[in-house]
Amino acid sequence: MAGKEKSGKRKIMLLAVIAVLLLLIAAGGAWWFLLRSTAAPSKAQLQEQRAQQTKFIDLGELVTNLQSTDGGTHYIQVKVELKTYDADLEKKIQTYLPEIRNQVLQLLAAQQADKVSDPAVRGQLLDKIKADVNQILQTDGGALSAPVNSKNPPIVAAYFSSFVVQ
């Protein structure tokens, strides 16, 4: 008789465990279908999220000589800021900073002194700086042959916060 009582208690315990599991599954399902937010975020909410994630990374001040058509010596001094939505990118930028600064300096040194002050040329320089920095970051400084993620580049824009030509 003792064996039947143990067997009966085991069945009751097993049924109780199954009932508790079913209740947990039902509660999870109810939460999933009824309580979670299914509405897509509005455009204003997306813009607010982007604004909170926006980070500017300063490349520092860069000075180099320019190509001259008049025989004189001309210099350019700029301060470049990079815009990103990845808060963790600054550490990677610091890792590649010598290579990034070198690339920007080479780009600036290739400019002609009489044309570099033109706003259209400045815009082209910023676009090229952004593309070059993204290339460096996405190929691990040239170690990879192709960019890892070309659809969502790490740097979304580049800006001059200071621009002096002498």
Looking at the predicted structure, is the pLDDT value of residue 1 above 60? no
Q: Same domain for 122 and 93?
A: yes
Its pTM stands at: 0.68
Using one digit for the tens of pLDDT, what is the confidence trace for 131-149? 999 999 988 776 776 666 6
Q: 28 and 63: one domain?
A: no
pLDDT digits (tens, 9 = 90+) for 71-119: 888 999 999 999 998 888 889 999 999 999 999 999 999 999 889 989 9
Position 74: which residue type? H
Which of 23, 17, 89 lies closest to 59 in space, CA to CA? Answer: 89
Query: Within this chain, do residues 33 and 50 fall inside the same structural domain, yes or no?
Result: no
Q: Can you give the pLDDT at residue 141?
A: 72
- Sheet strand arrangement including 55-66: 55-66, 74-84, 157-165
Can you give the pLDDT at residue 2? 58
Looking from the CA of 157 toward its CB, the CA atoms found within 13 Å total 9
The total domain count for the chain is 2
Residue 36 has pLDDT above 80, yes or no: no
- Mean of all residue pLDDT scores within the chain: 86
Sign of the C-alpha dihedral, residues 143, 147, 153, 156? positive
What is the distance between the alpha carbons of residues 68 and 66, in angstroms, rounded to a whole number?
A: 6
Domain that holds residue 155: 46-165
Each residue of 45-60: pLDDT tens digit? 777 777 778 899 999 9
Would you state the pLDDT for residue 38? 61
Give yes or no: residues 123 and 75 share one domain: yes
Residues 97 and 153 in one domain: yes
